[in-house]
Amino acid sequence: MAKVGKRYQEAIKSFERATLYEPTEAIEIVKANAKAKFDETVEVAFKLGIDTRHADQQIRGAIVLPNGTGKTRSVLVFAKGDKAKEAELAGADFVGAEDMIAKIEQGWFGFEVVVATPDMMGMVGKLGRVLGPKGLMPNPKTGTVTPDVTRAIKEIKAGKIEYRAEKAGIIHAPIGKVSFGTEQLFENYRTLAETLVKAKPSAAKGQFIRSVTVTSTMGPGVRINPLKAL
C-alpha cells in the first residue's frame, strides 16, 4: 500500500469520506484541504452509466468554462497561407505545416493543444501514432479541426477543456484552481455537469450519473451526491 503524507492523513479526517455532499459543500472541503505550496488544480470525475464498447455510447467533446481553468495552454496550429497569418494574429504559440511536422517527428512536444485547418488533416494524420496516444490529435468533435482558427485559439486561451469517457465510463476534467472562489468553481462544475447530461446517449439505460468525485492535485477526493449533481 502506498504511503500517504501527514497532510493527506489530516485532510481525510476533516470530513466523512462515505458521505455524499452537495456540490458546493464538496468544493469547499476540497479548497479547505488544499495545503500545497502551489495553486492546486481542482478536478472532477464523473462515473457515467454508459458502455464505451459501443460506438453509440461514447462521449467526447469540448466546452469553454465560464471562469476559465486558471491556466493558459500553449497552442500549435497547423495552417498555411492566410490561415497561418490569422492564427499568429489570434495568439497561437506555434504555427506551421511541414516544418512543425518534422519537429514533432524528431520528438518535439512543446505544446499542449493542437488545432488544424481541414485542408491540413491529410498531412497531420500522419502524426496520429504520436499525437493520438497523448490526446493531442485534432478532432472536429472538440473544435480543433476548423477553418475558424481565430475562434478556436481564443476559446482555448479562455479556458476551453476537452472531455472524453474512458473505458470504464469515467470522465476526468479540471474545473479551475484552488485560488478560485467557491462560486466560480461551482459555475465551472455545473457547466460541465449540464453538458454531460445533455450528451447522454439514447442507448444509455438507468441512472446516467453514477458517481461524482471532486479533488485537488494533492488532496483527497470528496464525493458528491449524484442525485444532486446539478
Q: Averaged in consecutive runs of 10 residues, what is the pLDDT profile of the chain (230 residues)?
A: 68 88 97 94 97 93 94 95 97 97 96 97 95 94 95 94 93 97 97 96 93 96 92
What's the pLDDT at 4? 61
Tell me, what's the pLDDT at 6? 78
| Residue that has been written with the C-alpha cell 458521505 in this structure | 19
pTM score, whole prediction: 0.84
Distance CA 132, CA 150 (A): 24
In angstroms, the CA 129 to CA 17 distance is 41
d(CA 159, CA 62): 10
Which of 229, 157, 156, 220 lies closest to 186, judged by CA?
A: 229
DSSP H or E stretch at residue 170: strand 170-177
pLDDT at 230: 83
Q: What is the pLDDT of residue 9?
A: 79
* Predicted pLDDT of residue 1: 42
pLDDT of residue 86: 98
Please check whether residue 214 is in contact with residue 224, taking contact to mean a CB–CB distance below 8 angstroms. yes
pLDDT, residue 13, reads 84
